[in-house]
Amino acid sequence: NVGYSVLFYAPDSNRSGIMTGRTGASGERVTEMPCLTQIGGFDFDNDGVPDIGEHVIGSDPTDPDSDGDGVPDGAEIKSGLNPLDGISFPTGLISNVGVQGQAKDVVVAGAPNDPTRTFVYLATGSHGAAIVDATRFDAPIVLGQVDLNGDATGIALDAANRTAVVAANAGGLHLVDIADPMTPTRIATWDIVAAHVEVADGVAYAAGAGALRAIDTSTGELLATVALSSGSFTGLAIEGATLYAMDDRRFLHVYDIADDRLLEIATLQLSDGGGRIFAGDGIVYAAATSNFRGGYAVVDVSDPTNPVSISGSDIASPLIAPRTEFIPNGSGRGLLIGSAGNVQAADLMESSNLADTAAFLTRFELPAAPFAAAIGAGIGFIADGTAGLQIVNYSPFDNLGQPPTADLNLSSLDVDFNAPGIQVLEGSTAPVHVSVTDDVQVRHVELLLNERVVASDISFPFEFSVQLPFTTPVSSTATLRARATDTGGNATLSDPVVLNLVPDTFPPTILAANPDDATRHFAGMRTLSIQFSEAMDASQLNASNIRLAPVGNLAATIVPTDVRIKRDGREVQLTYPPLAQGDYQVTLAANQLRDRVGNTLGAGNVQWQFEVLENRDPGQTLATALDLGTLGPRLTFQDFFGVGELGEADPEDIFVFTLAEAATVTATIANPTGDVRLELFANYDGDPQLEFNESLHSGTDGLCCNSVRDFSFSQQLPPGTYNLRLTPESFNDAGQYTLILNTSPIPISTSSDPGTTGATALNLGPLAGEIVIDEVVGAFDFDDIYRFSLSDASTVSGTISKQTEDLNVQLYGDLDADGQFEFNERLVSVGDGVCCGSVAPINFSKQLPAG
């Protein structure tokens, strides 16, 4: 019968609680469950451990470094170290963990349900994949492993869907469920040869030999493919909506991957390269695999359409450096791994001067030849082949007391440059990039929205995506700031950035759909994708409000097997069982589909129909050509060539298709099992023959003697009807192929310059989707004036890029319809914000009513 009080503290969650009570009679058991309701608390010495936690641990609440080892108590606890032992943690190889197979690729990330824990994902060669808990980096634990066919040399995470994609070369591309790290499970395997893989927004980009493919991870559908004319891809990296690929000829290829496409926008041959690459903060770091002295090269890709080499490898005789991969830490240092002569090593390099790639600091020898590396929470993780996962503390914990710096530049989010401050649409999703610097090493960066942590990142580059709040009667702003913490526990907050929330009063619209209205597809297709003009209420993007049914039985709604929200809420993709031949109708409950604020798509239903064709053999004449109908955004078809499925002679396959409007058509032959030629024709004279002078394009894989690879070509076409003809390259060639057709809007070609008055303005007509215009202005052409209309209230965004001189862009509403542009009619006026002949992209966005 004695009163008691017990204090509890959980360092991993920084929670504490106090349990008080009174015991019963002597010998009776007291059973109570502590409630850790307090998060943080008063912290007298500001070391990251609240006073109640210091009392429980036994550290000094008045001294931020209780054991005097130079590292604050909070930093030691977060790193799994003892704040009372007086021992500084050593540098070098601090732990390793063996896995089945060989460690050949590595990704490090915060645990899905607990960002305070560090998980390491490995591609394990002859075995498959493994997940390691490295929260205690000096005592890592293998959580789970999965056996996969092939030689697993690449791994990438799809965090939103709790999956990993593993590239296993001839064993295929594997999709693995990692929701339970103790039991990773293979979901699917796709017959795609790939050694490297990256994932973005539910699409896997896999490179093997000379082909780079985009694959929908929910269905395994091949979305796009590109192929090298010779050579092989050696490395991939993604930053934002740009994919970078290196090949063994030292060419850096730059692809726009918006809209699930692979559009090459630039190439640059480097003096040194040909290996793995890393992208971050507008810089690509390329291992100098082609240079026997090793090192790495640096490329400025701040403008992805114009990559510029900053430096090749500066390693000079007689030195030899590793040359497998370079990984920067975001604080001016990086790890260069590989073989250096007869030594397997990880070299710590000073990389703050991008023009100097030979600034060696120290070397850590490895037990085996390394394949890949990653940096997370200030620690290096190396996939070291037969030696498993090696964990290296490459830099002493920061005991200098100097906090990092953090900066947010969110001016690109501004949708109204004329109003003071930064205007953003309420409820929208904002991409946020945090620039940080530190004198030693940043451990992690947190993003705060209205002073609450909403996201955390442990690896450079520090990129976030945050949904902004809605306006309320008492608040129409949101405040973003970042907190950067180094390995010594020194933290800093960036200056707050106040965003003015613009009320969203306009209804969303449909920008694109696939399948689209009146388009044709083939039996076995499985997906329906719809893109909206703004982020939607995800809770309403479901099978009840988006219905697919056969035209002859609209009550028989087809139930999707998967629903995914993509593009920050602006796209929904529904996956169904393979569709049989027939006509189908899509019905949207427009009054239920709404944006995040609550504006609905419309009052009634929105409907369209499409047709699924039988997978018949294309004809061999124009009269029997397979009619693909009006092309939508994407169409896929598979067939045999040379001989039919039943062994009959099939010397050519002929297709016919229609374009309703001008578009760029990209035709791709994927997975051919023999040499084929694909030709594009316009049958100008309308006769039953395809003549040489009617050929618009002809493509092959450029290889002979039954060596085959994917190939593609693109052609800008006006509205009209066209033919495709596929033939074997030689009489004896026969096999299978996949034909992929992608269409996208093309730049408007103006035969005469846009006018300089309202009366002579170039009329763009009703705006719908994206329009791209290439033009010249200046000299004797002082103004280019365009006119457009809107059938519905919409947000119109514009970008001026690739300009060679300073420009100004103005948007007007001709309120009095007099054809003149008065000051009171000006809605937007914006330049690039730089002077003296320096130019930068110009962006504007404005909500406009119909008119």
| Phi, psi torsion values for 735, nearest 5 degrees | 165, -150
Residue that the structure tokens 């526990």 belong to: 489
Query: Partners of 128 in the beta sheet?
Result: 147
| Cβ–Cβ < 8 Å for 652, 682 | no
- Neighbour order of strands in the sheet with 605-613: 520-522, 605-613, 582-589, 546-550
**Same domain, yes or no, for 336 and 415?**
no
Q: What is the DSSP string of 621-678?
A: SSTT-EEEEE--SEEEEEEEEEE-TTS-EE--EEEEEEESS-EEEEEEEES-SS-EEE
| Phi, psi torsion values for 278, nearest 5 degrees | -140, 140
**Same domain, yes or no, for 757 and 609?**
no
Q: Is residue 416 part of a domain?
A: yes
Length of the chain: 851
Query: Which pLDDT value is given to residue 445?
Result: 95
Q: Is residue 28 part of a domain?
A: yes
Residues of the chain short of pLDDT 70, as ranges, are 70-71, 79, 87-88, 644-647, 702-707, 731, 746-753, 778-781, 832-839
Rg (CA), the chain: 30
**Same domain, yes or no, for 174 and 261?**
yes
Please list, in sequence order, all residues whose beta carbon lies within 8 angstroms of the beta carbon of residue 320, skipping any fewer than 6 positions away: 292, 293, 294, 340, 341
The pair of three-digit structure tokens given for residue 129, joined into one six-digit string:
């994949």
**Same domain, yes or no, for 278 and 318?**
yes
Q: Is residue 540 part of a domain?
A: yes
| Cβ–Cβ < 8 Å for 327, 264 | no
d(CA 823, CA 127): 69
What domain count does the chain have?
Answer: 6
Distances from the Cα of 560 to the Cα of 161, 516, 548, angstroms: 17, 18, 9
**Same domain, yes or no, for 458 and 601?**
no
Please list, in sequence order, all residues whose beta carbon lies within 8 angstroms of the beta carbon of residue 788, skipping any fewer than 6 positions away: 763, 764, 765, 766, 767
- Neighbour order of strands in the sheet with 277-280: 277-280, 283-287, 296-300, 308-311
Q: Is residue 766 part of a domain?
A: yes
State the residue range of the domain holding 763: 748-848
Please list, in sequence order, all residues whose beta carbon lies within 8 angstroms of the beta carbon of residue 711, skipping any fewer than 6 positions away: 227, 668, 669, 678, 699, 700, 701, 702
Query: Partners of 225 in the beta sheet?
Result: 213
Query: Partners of 408 in the beta sheet?
Result: 434
**Same domain, yes or no, for 740 and 752?**
no
Query: Which pLDDT value is given to residue 123?
Result: 99
Burial of 76 (0-12, 13-18, 19+ CB in 10 A): buried
Q: Is residue 19 part of a domain?
A: yes
**Same domain, yes or no, for 708 and 560?**
no
| Phi, psi torsion values for 21, nearest 5 degrees | 175, -165
**Same domain, yes or no, for 637 and 571?**
no
Burial of 753 (0-12, 13-18, 19+ CB in 10 A): middle
Q: Is residue 561 part of a domain?
A: yes
**Same domain, yes or no, for 330 and 449?**
no
Half-sphere CA count of 668, side-chain side, radius 13 A: 28
| Cβ–Cβ < 8 Å for 594, 600 | yes
**Same domain, yes or no, for 644 and 718?**
yes
Please list, in sequence order, all residues whose beta carbon lies within 8 angstroms of the beta carbon of residue 339, skipping any fewer than 6 positions away: 322, 323, 324, 345, 369
d(CA 486, CA 437): 10
Sign of CA dihedral 413, 418, 423, 425: negative
Q: What is the DSSP string of 36-90?
A: --EES---TT-SSS-HHHHHHHT--TT-SSTT-SSS-HHHHHHTT--TTS--PPP
Q: Is residue 825 part of a domain?
A: yes
* CATH number (domain holding residue 600): 2.60.40.1220
Position 72: which residue type? Answer: P
* CATH number (domain holding residue 252): 2.130.10.10
Query: Which pLDDT value is given to residue 834?
Result: 61
Query: Partners of 119 in the beta sheet?
Result: 109, 133
d(CA 63, CA 56): 15
Query: Of 566, 586, 613, which closes a domain?
Result: 613
Query: Which pLDDT value is given to residue 674?
Result: 85
d(CA 625, CA 725): 9
d(CA 121, CA 178): 10
d(CA 673, CA 681): 24
Burial of 304 (0-12, 13-18, 19+ CB in 10 A): buried
Query: Of 502, 518, 543, which closes a domain?
Result: 502
Q: Is residue 400 part of a domain?
A: no
Position 8: which residue type? Answer: F
Residue 630: CB atoms within 10 A of its CB come to 16
* CATH number (domain holding residue 735): 2.60.120.380
**Same domain, yes or no, for 319 and 196?**
yes
Give which of 432, 430, 431, 456 is closest to 445, Cα–Cα: 456
**Same domain, yes or no, for 389 and 434?**
no
Q: How far apart are the first and last CA of the chain?
A: 82
Query: Of 502, 521, 544, which closes a domain?
Result: 502
d(CA 331, CA 395): 12
DSSP 446: E
